[in-house]
Amino acid sequence: MINETSKKISLPQSITVKKFSEILKMPLNVIITELMKNGILATINEKIDFETASIIAQDLGFEVSEEIMDLGEKMTLEKLNEEIKKEKESTDVLKSRPPIVTILGHVDHGKTTLLDTIRKTNVAAKESGGITQHISAYQVKKKGQLITFVDTPGHEAFSAMRERGVSIADIAVLVVAADDGVRPQTREVIEYLLAKKIPTVVAINKIDKPEINIQRVKQELADAGIVLEEWGGQVLSAKISAKQNIGIDDLLDNILLIAEVEDFRANYKRDPLGIVLESHLDPQKGPVATILIKTGTLKEGQDIIAGSDRGRIKRIEDFRGNRISEATPGMPISIIGLHHTPNSNDILQTAPEKTQSKSHSQGGLLQQSPEESFSLQKMMRSIASEKIKRLNVILKSDVQGSLEAIGQILGEIKSEEVAIDYIATGVGNITESDVRLAGSSNAIIYGFNVETTPVAKRMSEASKTEVKNYKIIYELVEDIKNKLIAMLPPIIERTDFGKMKVLALFKTGRGDMIIGGKILSGKMSNKSLLEVMRGDAVIGQGKLSNLQENKINVDEVSVGKECGITFLGNTKIKEGDVLLSYKEEVKKRTL
């Protein structure tokens, strides 16, 4: 119990048992004993998470707190864009910065191949399932000028992430296959580009194929609102083959031409503002965030905030992984030093000087801010009726973008009978807190591109908590979908064969009867189910185990004929009753 004489301590998000005992200034055997009392087996060098450490510390009379930065008014993407707009109109000295480009287009039209060709690496071969799972960013140099590319997933299930890529880019490259033309997904992208007035270059891809029709592509683009320069419009285009490395220089030249016209500039001397593209937990480095600097200069040692997180820059790396001391506008970087993994689209800025302490009287498991881009409000299915069966799920992934992708795909599953109830979601490995929560909520833990800590693994095995880890998104989704299907009530289809009137009773046993009768309609089918009707009422059920016609075993007897049957069942049949022959089949459900 916490009281007025409780000692106050501050704990990190995870801590080794040895370090924990040092902070509490208590013997290791005492700490290990307390952990065992809570069902946790951990060696001195294994890490326990904040909630576990917090509970143990409180049981031992400590008050646990964690320093939280006073974040002030939250900076959003919209506010950042307003800030950039004001900067352009100011009298401050602005310098040219690299244009930020994203590549969009219909799935299979060659977006990833084009990116591969531009940066001379093979992304698709490195990604599970051939899909670019995470957003990344990199730079290329053309005619001595840098161009920044923001890579967004190309699969149609990732439309929300693609839109995010567009919202932070200066220029969009719209890839359209010369042999396939403008598809519905391409039209959606065009509508967004036109609505946001984003400068666009069209890349007509796959020109090396024999069955291409470039004029048709241009006509379809014009019909959708994109009129190319050669047709009297304003939109530049390049005919390319991403696979054969044809026309790539022309495409990059067009990007630089738009950049020259638009004249993208920024204030290098002001405090930095950047956008979080992605984040993940590295086992050695801790939280790592990929940032795109929009304005200002970020330097090592600066105190920063990113969304609802804060920290101090310990290390900055460029997109190649080389350590740099500072990052300037238009530059994609990775930073180390945040306390937690921020969310995609969070805004990075320098931190105010004031800090405050947040007291934890109880450990908070997988607590998430309301502003998280993949919030529970977005991901949870509303449960409107108690009749709906719920699948309780805890979802952990390596990065926020994966959570968004999984949530978006699962959101396409529609049912009025079953639903997913997300108990918690989060970025990072599966820990003992997740297992504890799963046990109390009867949930299944799903991990994507994460690991289960040794302590959590032992806990899950002891408590028989189901933990499932996946490397491919669609395998994870398929598993959840199959579990939902298994929860659906079965559909039983009944097929009626015919009716027989009972004319004679030859034998009455304990669980069987031998009966003679005449077929009134349809047929009697051997091994079928039987319904016993007396008047208009069904008085019992049974099974037809043997069917004879003229004392010869047969499979069926048709209307108008007489037969003898062996009835299996406890219903006592009388002369004049009617037996209905039928079968039932259980049909598999789908979503």
Band (pLDDT 50/70/90 cuts) for residue 68 is: low
- The per-residue pLDDT for range 389-420, each reduced to its tens digit, is 899 999 999 877 788 778 888 888 888 889 99
Band (pLDDT 50/70/90 cuts) for residue 162 is: low
For the chain, what is the largest distance between any 2 Cα atoms, rounded to a whole number of angstroms?
Answer: 109
Cβ contact 272:293 at 8 Å: yes
Band (pLDDT 50/70/90 cuts) for residue 163 is: low
Strand partners, 584: 494
- The per-residue pLDDT for range 125-153, each reduced to its tens digit, is 343 443 334 446 888 888 889 999 987 65
Both tokens of residue 329? Answer: 């506008």
- The per-residue pLDDT for range 429-440, each reduced to its tens digit, is 999 989 999 988
| C-alpha closest to that of 370 among 321, 417, 307 | 307
Tell me the CA distances in angstroms from 454 to 19, 64, 397, 461, 471, one per residue in order.
17, 25, 17, 11, 19
Half-sphere exposure for 285 (CA within 13 Å, toward CB): 18
pLDDT higher than threshold 50 for residue 357: no
What would the mean pLDDT of 265-273 be, rounded to a whole number?
A: 92
Structure confidence at residue 575 (pLDDT): 95
Structure confidence at residue 320 (pLDDT): 84
Cβ contact 417:389 at 8 Å: yes
Structure confidence at residue 381 (pLDDT): 39
Pseudo-torsion of CA 450, 455, 461, 465, nearest 10°?
A: -60
What is the Cα–Cα distance from 237 to 147, expressed in whole angstroms?
17
Reduced to 3 states (helix: H, G, I; strand: E, B; else coil), residue 340 is coil
Domains in the chain: ranges and CATH:
7-67 (no CATH), 68-95+266-342 (2.40.30.10), 98-263 (3.40.50.300), 376-487 (3.40.50.10050), 491-587 (2.40.30.10)
Structure confidence at residue 507 (pLDDT): 93
Work out the percent of the chain whose per-residue pLDDT is above 90. 44
Please list, in sequence order, all residues whose beta carbon lies within 8 angstroms of the beta carbon of residue 15, skipping any fewer than 6 positions away.
Answer: 23, 47, 48, 50, 53
Please list, in sequence order, all residues whose beta carbon lies within 8 angstroms of the beta carbon of residue 99, skipping any fewer than 6 positions away.
Answer: 147, 148, 170, 171, 255, 256, 258, 259, 262, 264, 330
3-state SS, 451-489, equals CECHHHHHHHHHHCCCEEEECCHHHHHHHHHHHHHHHCC
Q: What per-residue string of b and e applies to 174-200 under the rule 16 or more CB within 10 Å gives b?
A: bbbbbbbbbbebbbbbbebbeeeebbb
The residue ranking higher by pLDDT, 324 or 90, is 324
Both tokens of residue 436? Answer: 């504890």
Structure confidence at residue 152 (pLDDT): 65
What would the mean pLDDT of 149-176 be, rounded to a whole number?
A: 70
pLDDT averaged over every residue in the chain: 83
- The per-residue pLDDT for range 74-124, each reduced to its tens digit, is 677 778 888 888 888 887 789 999 999 988 887 666 777 888 788 764 333
Band (pLDDT 50/70/90 cuts) for residue 47 is: confident
The residue ranking higher by pLDDT, 475 or 4, is 475
Pseudo-torsion of CA 309, 310, 315, 321, nearest 10°?
A: 20
Structure confidence at residue 263 (pLDDT): 92
- The per-residue pLDDT for range 185-203, each reduced to its tens digit, is 888 889 888 988 899 999 9
